[in-house]
Structure formats: C-alpha cells, structure tokens
Amino acid sequence: MNPPLTDNQNFNSKDYTNNPLPKAEYMECTFTNCNFENSDLSNINFLECDFVDCNFSNVNVMHTTFNAVNFKDCKILGVLFYNCNAFLLSFKFQNCILNLSSFYQLKINHTQFSNCIMHQVDFTETEAKHVDFKDCDLSNSTFDRTNLEHTDFTSAFNFNINPSINQIKNASFSKENILGLLEAFKIKIK
C-alpha cells in the first residue's frame, strides 16, 4: 500500500513533538520554522523538499527517504542518518548544526555541506566522494576507513584525517588546514 501523497505544500511554525507529522510521501514541500525534536519520522518519504530553520534534533529516521532534500539553517543534533533509506539518498546542508550525527557506512557522494558546524559527526566507513565541506567546522569528527576521494576540504577547519586509513586521492586541502592530515603522525611542525 502506497502512502498518501502530499505535494507542493508549505508547513510553517508547526510543532511535531506531540502531534507527529502524518506518514506520507511529501513532494516539493517546504517546512519552515518547524519543530521535529525527538519525533518519529520513520518510513516517511521526502522528495525535493526544503527544511528551513527547523529543529531536527534526535529525530528517528529509520527507513526515511531523503531525495533531493535541502536543509537550511537547521539544528540537526544526534540524527542517525545511517538508518534512513539509502536508495536515491541525496541532500544538501547549508548553515546547519549537525553535531553528534552519524553517516556511518552511507554513500553520500556529491553532498554539499556549506558553513555547517559538525562537531563529533561520525563518517566511519562512509563513501563521501566529491563531497564539499565549504567553511565547515569538523571538530572531533570521525573519519575512519572513509572514502574521501575528490572531496573538497579547502575551507574546512578543525578536522583530523589520518591519510593512512582513509582514501584521500584527489581530495583538496589548503595550506592553512593541511595540519589536519598530519595530526595522526604526532609530528611537530615549526
């Protein structure tokens, strides 16, 4: 049975903490200033949707579909994206706080993170080729057996990536942030 379709709708200043978002397929919808904190968004399909200034903290995204979804100015704390539907997964994050979230073992190729605070985000075994971390703070984020080929870190900062356990072929770094690749080797640069 297919979920009901909700298309081209605007949802403004809604609080879904006590009254959950109905299970449906949301297409070309915009959610502005909505509170989803601790909500169950499992088995919901978001296709070409925009989330603007929303609180997405600790949301359950088990089997949730995100296809061509944009998050802008959102608080997205502790979201386990590895539980979502990996088929046709694509999203973009702009000016978001993604602290303590996880992309463990996901394929997030070509994802754009722009001006995001991403403290303690888990990218373990993630395929993150051609990802752009423009002006992102990656403090204490985990890159372990991560495929970062062709990924752009030129304006990212506070990252620590061990080149011996991650694939970084053709990734881009700047002279200013290259120390993030050397931290694992415990060498001193003067």
* pLDDT range class, residue 189, cuts 50, 70, 90: low
Per-residue pLDDT tens over the stretch 161-170: 999 999 999 9
pLDDT of residue 175: 86
* pLDDT range class, residue 190, cuts 50, 70, 90: low
Instruction: Please name each of the domains of the chain with its CATH number.
Output: 1-73+83-92 (2.160.20.80), 102-183 (2.160.20.80)
Per-residue pLDDT tens over the stretch 41-81: 999 999 999 999 999 999 999 999 999 999 999 999 999 99
* DSSP of the chain: -PPPEEES-EEES-BTTTSPPPSSEEES-EEES-B-TT-B-TT-EEES-EEES-B-TT-B-TT-EEESEEEES-B-TT-BGGGSB-TT--EEEES-B-TT-B-TT-B-TT-EEES-B-TT-B-TT-B-TT-EEET-B-TT-B-SS-B-TT-B-TT-BS----TTTSB-TT-B--TTTGGGGTGGGT----
Per-residue pLDDT tens over the stretch 122-152: 999 999 999 999 999 999 999 999 999 999 9
Q: What is the pTM of this model?
A: 0.93
